[in-house]
Each structure stands twice: as C-alpha cells, then as structure tokens.
Structure 1
Amino acid sequence: MLNPQWLRTFTTLAEQGNFTRSAERLNLTQAAVSQHVQRLEERLGPLLIRRPRQLELTPAGRALLEYCAEVNAADQRLQQRLSERDAECGEIGLICPGSIGLALYPLLLELQHTHPGLSIRQRFAPDREVLDAVLDNRFELGLVTLKPDDPRLSVSRFAEEPLELVVPASESVQCWADLERLGFIDHPDGQAMAGRLLSRYYPGAPGVCSLPCHGFTNQISLILEPVARGLGFTVLPRYARMAFSRPESIKVIEGERPVVDTLWLLHRAEWPLSARADLIIQRVKPQFWSAGRQC
C-alpha cells in the first residue's frame, strides 16, 4: 500500500507544478518533497519529467494522479458514513411520490434552515422507482403508497392521504351530469385515481373513460391550474391539493364513501437509521398527521 503522505505530496506537486511552492504548501522541506516523489518512483517508475520551469506528468504520473483522486473520494465517502451519528450535519436523501413530496418540501426546507449543516436531497418518483432507489442505497428514506413485502426493507405507517374530487370554486357539482359538463383534467395517475373515487361517489355511472378530457399534465404542481381557471375538474391526493398556492380558487367535493390511501415509510432493514434520518422523521411525521386531521 502506498504511503498516504507520499500521495498527498504528489497531488500537491501536480497541482503546484513546482517543488518549492509544494514544500511551502505542505509545510515540508524541499528535500522531503523530493524524497517522497523518489519513494513513489521506486515503486511505480518515472512519474515526472523535470524541466527548468515546468513539471510534466508521465503516463504513470497521470495514472497515479487519478488514483489519488479516487482515494480522496473514498475517504470522503467513509467520513460521511462515519458521521451518520451526527443528526445536524451531513446529507440525507428522501425519495417519494409527488403529492406528499409537494407538501413535504417546505417542511424539509424549514428543518434545513434550523439546522444549516444538513443537506437534504429530495426526489419525486413513483412507487417502483422509490423501492429500487432505497434498495440500491441511493436514498436512505422512501415513501410509497403500496406496502412492500420485501424482507430487506423496514416498513412503517407514515400518514394517511385521501383522494379528493377537486372542482373550480365557482362550480356546484350535484350529479354525474355536472362532471360531464365540466370535463376531466387528466394526469399520469388520473384515470386510476378518478376510477377508484368516482365509482364510490357515483355508483352506476358510466365511469371516468366516458367523461370528456379537457387537459393533461404530468407536472403534479400544475394539475390544479386548469381547475382553478374553470377548465375542468380532477381527482388527486389531498397533499397535492394542500400544496396549491391558490386554495380560494378551488374546492373539494366530499362524498359519503371516501378513498383513503396509507403512505408507508421505508428504509433498509439491515442497519439502523442515521441520526439525520431519524431527526427528519421525528420532526416531520407529526405535522403530517396534524395536517391530515385539519384539512
């Protein structure tokens, strides 16, 4: 194994291009810098071409410099893993569906503002991608709408989220004919969500496929824009509606038989949560339960 001090000396020398400046940067003598390079060249062959005013790396020197970068990156990853006991410093990754993600994001920003040492990485994704990302250790925490049964995952109830029928604030919806008049604003999960909810609200009706479609968007933050402008109605999860910036322009039509989904929190079961992940759960989860009861 190559001496880490020799590697630091070589990296600095490659950056500075000069033995004198490198010695000053490392707080070493120029003879010590030369000796470190000599020891490396005894192991690896010529690393430098020494010219009067310039140092040039040989192919072996360039390969060693790449190796030094890899060692440094591995060291940083190790330090990050070892710092997982620190709840207020470091990175935490969360991947979740877009609806709860919209409502969750400002809470995460507030938490990060309180703890500036945290770096919170959030991604919106469907259930299948969430599962893969957590299992591949690309994200420590995930939220899904369908409870997985993979033994590699620790799964717990996080919140409940009803589906909602949302119409323009100026509209009165009493029957199926009113929905036909308004038209449907679709989205990637729109047909499935509307089918589940409308079959309960309007049993015996033809179904969502029979309704005129007045628009489609795959951006969850934009689904309610056409509804707010009176262009149609939609069906989407409650947290997406709660995150809409103009709540006065829309309204929710309540039904006697609601559809309520459970949101499941998951992480790898083989090792404990980092202190940062635990901090997020403890601070955020109670607010979601409280918000669900109020809205």
Structure 2
Amino acid sequence: MNDGLNPAWLRAFVAVCDTGSFTRAAASLDLTQAAVSQQVQRLEAECGPLLIRRTRKASLTPAGVKVLAYARDMEEAHARLRLALADDDPHVGQISVASPGSIGLLLYPRLLALQAAHPGLSVSYRAAPTADIIAAVLASRAELGIVTHRPDDERLRTELFAHESLCLVVPAQMDDVSWPALVRLGYIDHPDGMDMGRRLLARVHPGQRIDQLPVRGFTNQIGAILDPVAHGIGFAVLPRFAVQAYPRRQAIRVVDTAPQVIDSLWLVTRAEWPLSASAAWALERLREHDWLAGADAPASWPAHDNG
C-alpha cells in the first residue's frame, strides 16, 4: 500500500457505502457511474477487496469495514482542519485557559456557562503555578494564561487582567482578631499560605512573625482551605477570589484590614499571533461583567506589583 490513499477514491467508496449502490453514489457525487466504479477499483487495488457486490446492495468485507472507518476519520479530520483554519466563528472551537486556582474557582464556572450557551465550544481549564502556566502558553497547551507575576519574555503579550486583595479569614463567630487571639486560634496553611500570611500579617500586626503561629492544618485543595476555618479550627489568609467562591460564606468572616495587600493578575498570550475567535470572544464576555469587581483595588489603595 502507498503511504497515502487518494481522497477521491475514499470519497467514492464512502458514497457507495452510504447510498448502497454505485448509481446513487455517482448521482450524489455528480459523477458518472463508470467514474465511481473506477475509483473504487483503484482503492481496492491498494487495499484488497472491500465490497461484496450484490444485485441490490453492496456489502462490506472485513477490510472494507476498516477502510470505511479510516475514511470517516479522514473526513472528520478535514472538517476540523477547515474549521480551525477558518476561525471566524467565535461560538465554535476550543477555549483553553490556565490560571491560579483562586481565580479559577470563579473563572471556570463562567467558562462553562459560555459553553452551555454555545455547545460548539469546548472548554479546557487547568489550575497551575505561574511557571507552569507560562510553559503551557508557550507550548500552545493554553491559549489564555493568567499569572501572578508579570513575565519578561518577548514571546508573550502581557496585559493587566485584574487586581486581587489578600484576605484575613476567621470563623464567623470570632470578634477578637488581636495577635494573641490569632495565636490561640492557630493558622490553616496551604501551598502559598506562609508567603501570603507573612505579607498580610506584617501589615496588620507589625513586628509579629507568622512562624510564631501554631499551624492547625494544611491542605493543597484550594476549594477546601476555608473548611477548617468554617469549623472554627483556625484562620487563613487567601486571595479574595477564593473567598468569594467559597459556598459556606455564612460560616466565615473576612476581617477588614488596613493597609490592604493588593496583587496584580496578568493575562499572558502568545505575542506572535492573534487570539482565536473563540478565545477573544470569551475574554470579552468575561470582562464585560462585574464578577471581577469584588477584588479590584480602589484607586486609593497602592497595588502591590508582584512582578
């Protein structure tokens, strides 16, 4: 068998299989019956007998079943390629995003809502640290990346996406948030917990050190970090997006702290080519709503440029 099969031969074969006869296949392809028969014969010369020709309807041999499956796969692949190259329908195609887990708790449900409204879309989302997100964008595993540090890489286009404050979160019934009270309660740690806690607590309780706090628990599941806080077991420091997404808000309290610690979140994309129609459209839809506003820094707050 040659390395590739002539697409015209495969189209003729599929048409015969779909219509059940060479006559109807010829009519569907706007060809003569002799032309269709010749193309199928050439395909059989490459692949062996594919059809058992009967008076009323042709049937497939075992080899014919395999070639038909291959031909249909090729048709689907060609359709996907044409769609990808056209890229003019914002409601069809893949939206691939990578971000920190905190904003992902709010971002992913909104992406799924877009997909539910437009079933031609496919959403791919991954939560990852900044280094992995940048690598995913550069390797085209994610078209849109949101990172916590502004990268210095000429291959990337970077723009400010949102501001996100750090929150001191205690059990709902806790009124005393003095340093001795926090020490008695203890800290709920997570992969970024010590860094976030150090940065915020240094402003709220100057001179105190986070390593003086007893650690009451640890989890790397972003959606579960506030569960022990809701049970009164400890307190945590988390980005506001993670707090906004927590379902048991009545069981926790966000302490008003001053001064605030505000981080910048950056959108990164490949600099060499424009966004796909679906990704550009999804980005517009995400930005036109006020779901980001809960973590935006007021003009009077100095943003912490973590890049």
TM-score normalised by the shorter chain: which range applies? Answer: 0.7 to 0.9
Does the alignment pair 1:164 with 2:164? no
2:137 to 134, 138, 143: 134
Contact 2:91 2:121 in 1 (8 A): yes
Q: Are residue 110 (structure 1) and residue 113 (structure 2) matched?
A: yes
State the partner residue of 2:302.
none
Give the aligned partner of residue 230 of structure 1.
232
2:264 is matched with 262
Instruction: Give 1:118 deviation, angstroms.
Output: 2.8
Q: How many equivalent pairs are there?
A: 287
Asked if residue 89 in structure 1 is aligned to residue 102 in structure 2, the reply is no
Match of 2:11 among 8, 11, 31: 8
Amino-acid identity (%): 46
Deviation at 1:170, TM superposition (A): 0.6
Name the CA shift for 1:82/1:202 in 2 (closer, same or farther; >3 Å).
same
Name the SS for the 2:272 alignment partner. Answer: coil
Q: TM-score, normalised by structure 1?
A: 0.82
Q: For each residue in 1:187-216, what CA deviation from the matched residue of structure 2 results, as whole angstroms up to 9, or x when unmatched?
A: 122122112222222222132x33222222
SS in 2 for 1:87: coil
2:280 matches 1:278: yes
Task: Please state how far the C-alpha of 1:293 moved relative to its aligned partner.
Answer: 4.8
Matched-pair contact (CA < 8 Å) for 2:87–2:276: yes
Please say if residues 162 and 296 of structure 2, whose CA atoms lie closer than 8 Å, have aligned partners that are also in contact.
no
Letter in 2 for 1:161: E
The 5 Å alignment of 1:1-295 reads: 2-10=5-13, 20=20, 27=28, 34-42=37-45, 44=46, 46=48, 48=50, 55-57=61-63, 68=71, 71-72=74-75, 74-207=77-210, 209-286=211-288, 287-293=290-296
Aligned counterparts of 1:98 and 1:291: Cα–Cα separation in 2: 17
Cα 1:37–1:113, aligned 2, differ >3 Å: closer, same or farther? closer
Letter aligned with residue 276 of structure 1: S
Question: 1:223-263: per-residue Cα shift (whole Å, max 9, x none)?
Answer: 11111111111111000000111212111123223221111
User: Where does structure 1 lack aligned partners over 5 or more consecutive residues?
Assistant: none
Q: State the 1:141 CA deviation.
A: 0.8
- Give the superposition deviation at 1:10: 4.5
Q: Deviation at 1:100?
A: 0.5
Name the CA distance, whole Å, in 2 between partners of 1:22 and 1:150: 59
Q: Which moved more, 1:104-113 or 1:243-252?
A: 104-113
Moved more, 162-171 or 46-55: 46-55
What amino acid is aligned across from residue 63 of structure 2 in structure 1? L
8 Å contact 2:191–2:220 — kept in the other structure? Answer: yes
Contact 1:173 1:253 in 2 (8 A): no
Bigger shift: residues 240-249 or 70-79 = 70-79
Q: d(CA) in 1 for partners of 2:176 and 2:24? A: 78
1:114 Cα deviation from its structure 2 partner:
4.0
Provide the rounded CA distance (Å) in 1 between the counterparts of 2:208 and 2:114.
Answer: 46
Cα 1:24/1:51, change in 2 over 3 Å? closer
Letter of the 2:192 partner, please give it: D
**TM-score computed with the length of structure 2 as normaliser:** 0.79
> Distance between the aligned counterparts of 1:101 and 1:147, measured in 2?
18
Q: 3-state DSSP class of the match of 2:62?
A: strand
Question: For 1:69-102, what per-residue CA distance to the aligned partner results, in whole angstroms no more than 9, with x for missing partners?
Answer: 6644542442231242212222211111111111
Q: Which amino acid aligns with 2:61?
A: L
**C-alpha contact (below 8 Å) 1:83/1:90 kept by paired residues:** no
RMSD, aligned α-carbons: 3.2
What SS does the corresponding residue of 1:192 show, helix, strand or coil? helix
Contact 2:49-2:61 within 8 A present in 1 as well: no
In the alignment, the residues of structure 2 paired with residue 128 and residue 65 of structure 1 have an alpha-carbon distance, to the nearest angstrom, of 45
